[in-house]
Amino acid sequence: MPYDTIITGGTVVNANKTDKADVAIRGEKIAKVGRGLAKKAGNYGTRIIDAEGCYVIPGGVDVHVHLALPFCGTVSSDDFNTGTRAAARGGVTTVIDFAIPYGSDTLQQAVDNWHAKADGIACVDYAFHIAITNWQKQKRELPRMIKQGIPTFKQFMIYEAEGWQSDDAAMFQALEALRDLDGMLMVHAESSRVLDELIARHHNKREMKKHGAYLHTITRPNFIEAEAIQRAVTWAEATGGKLYIVHMSSADGTDIIAHAHRRGLKNVFAETCAQYLVLDDSLFKGKDGHLYATCPQIKKPADQARLWKGLKAGTVCTIATDTCTFTRKQKGVWKGDWTKIPMGMPGLETMLPAVYTEGVLKKRLTMRQFVDKCCTTPAKIMGLGHRKGAIKRGRDADITIIHPTKRIKVDHRKMETNADWSPLQGRPLAGFARTTLSRGKVVVDKYKFCGEKGWGEFLPRAAPGRI
Ligand code: URP
Ligand code: ZN
Ligand code: ZN
């Protein structure tokens, strides 16, 4: 049977192997990986994609995004259409969003709401985690959610005002329950009571005038994240439940995870995000400093260095974006009060280029480690390894072709995101997707989006936490 597409002449990089090979695609799947496939293809109308001189990698798997999220009094401005267009252009072919219950919503209602946001408009494949916002009320629903292919749940230690906060007892019980159900708990780890106290101390006109958006840094010293991570790790150790720390941003947090691994804990995982690797908190002091407000906030160069080291050593297993886009107008509501800035930033379009440029080209990661952290391990750990994250026969033909050195200056005006700014504006990054394929379909060609609204499908997932 002829192939539909063959990618030829490139260097295929998987997390465990680099090979000069062709990749043959039939329908939505990778049919074969091997040398000389294009030569043998014959004249059957097979589409040949020339990848000579380029890397051919699995499509990126961003396991942490918030598209069209009602948050901080507004709604994040990239929805499942623009967000997944941005993903495709950035070489990311799978995104996992968080379905969050509002008010008295059940988990099922939250999932239904999120399906309604994504159905028919996503351009690459997607899945959901679910936030547990009321343990006592929602715990009975866990088995049903897992049956629907959603085996990962998130609890927030902060965000009391949003109605999202969980306490230690809820976290402890969720870890126990998910241990027995073969699920995994994701935790936003920050110490809420001490954080509230620090915010209250600085929440006055004099301080706000003096420090502006830098108050994000002043009120969130590293121990705010580290103490919370330590607490979550303690409950994971006590229960044996699988714990995944989301958006870890600090050196101190990384040390705690490393220590847990040294003690032999195999059920504790940590993710960082591209912004914590390539941006630092001096940005808060600039004219547009408030734009960079995220939660947790970007930290210091020493934290960046520790996170890179942690990635290399395996302490940090995944890189995501925590994409939660707000426009200048949305960010502008702060009017000098840092507690009012909608927290989050765009990232899907620039994650692979930023990590490639700062990681691979600066020799902080090998090419295979880059693929491992951005594609393979995120897929595996979230129960998608059977379909995504590797260029292997039988896997979905989600493939990104990048040129090793060609740089493109980041310019939000030329991007797919709805953001009218970019945290990386003007940076010349290599590693943009020259070509992206989603389930065999070319969705980016010559660096431009050419995909289709509604092409993206919901991905039911298998058991998580296996890497
Ligand atoms: O600033 C962020 N990260 N916004 C999204 C919510 C969260 O905590 O992940
Ligand atoms: Zn969070
Ligand atoms: Zn998030």
**Ligand closest in space to the Cα of 64:** 3
| b/e 204-242 (16+ beta carbons within 10 angstroms → b) | eeeebeebbbbbbbbbbebebbbbbbbbbbebbbebebb
**Ligand closest in space to the Cα of 76:** 1
CB of 344 within 6 A of ligand 1: the answer is: yes
CB of 294 within 6 A of ligand 1: the answer is: yes
The average pLDDT across 434-448 equals 98
pLDDT at site 41: 78
CB of 441 within 6 A of ligand 1: the answer is: no
Q: Whose CA is nearest to atom 7 of ligand 1?
A: 295
CB of 188 within 6 A of ligand 1: the answer is: yes
The encoded tokens of residue 21 equal 């090979």
The average pLDDT across 308-328 equals 98
- Residues whose CB falls within 8 Å of the CB of residue 248, separated by 6 or more in sequence, listed in order: 189, 225, 229, 254, 257, 270, 271, 272, 276, 307, 316
CB of 64 within 6 A of ligand 1: the answer is: no
Q: Whose CA is nearest to atom 3 of ligand 1?
A: 295
Rounded to whole angstroms, how far apart are CA atoms 286 and 281?
Answer: 10
pLDDT at site 370: 99
Nearest atom (ligand 1) to Cα of 64: 9
pLDDT at site 51: 98
Nearest atom (ligand 1) to Cα of 294: 1
The average pLDDT across 78-101 equals 99
Asked if 379 and 61 count as a contact pair (C-beta separation under 8 A), the reply is yes
Ligand 1: residue of 324, 341, 348 to mutate (most ligand atoms within 8 A of CB) is: 324
Q: How far is the CA of 180 from the centre of ligand 3 (A)?
A: 26
Q: How far is the CA of 65 from the centre of ligand 2 (A)?
A: 10
Q: How far is the CA of 63 from the centre of ligand 1 (A)?
A: 13
Among residues 115, 122, 103, which one has the least CA distance to residue 150?
115
Nearest atom (ligand 1) to Cα of 156: 8
Nearest atom (ligand 1) to Cα of 344: 1
CB of 295 within 6 A of ligand 1: the answer is: yes
Tell me the pLDDT of the chain averaged across its residues: 98
In the structure, what pLDDT confidence band is assigned to residue 1 with cuts at 50, 70 and 90? confident
CB of 343 within 6 A of ligand 1: the answer is: yes
Q: Whose CA is nearest to atom 8 of ligand 1?
A: 295
CB of 66 within 6 A of ligand 1: the answer is: yes
In the structure, what pLDDT confidence band is assigned to residue 120 with cuts at 50, 70 and 90? very high
pLDDT digits (tens, 9 = 90+) for 379-399: 999 999 999 999 999 999 999
pLDDT digits (tens, 9 = 90+) for 25-68: 999 999 999 999 998 877 689 999 999 999 999 999 999 999 99
pLDDT digits (tens, 9 = 90+) for 246-286: 999 999 999 999 999 999 999 999 999 999 999 999 999 99
pLDDT at site 42: 75
pLDDT digits (tens, 9 = 90+) for 107-117: 999 999 999 99
CB of 324 within 6 A of ligand 1: the answer is: yes
Q: How far is the CA of 296 from the centre of ligand 2 (A)?
A: 7
pLDDT at site 82: 98
pLDDT at site 169: 98
Q: How far is the CA of 379 from the centre of ligand 2 (A)?
A: 20
pLDDT digits (tens, 9 = 90+) for 164-184: 999 999 999 999 999 999 999
Q: Name the residues around ion ligand 3, CB cutoff 5 A.
A: 322
pLDDT at site 44: 80
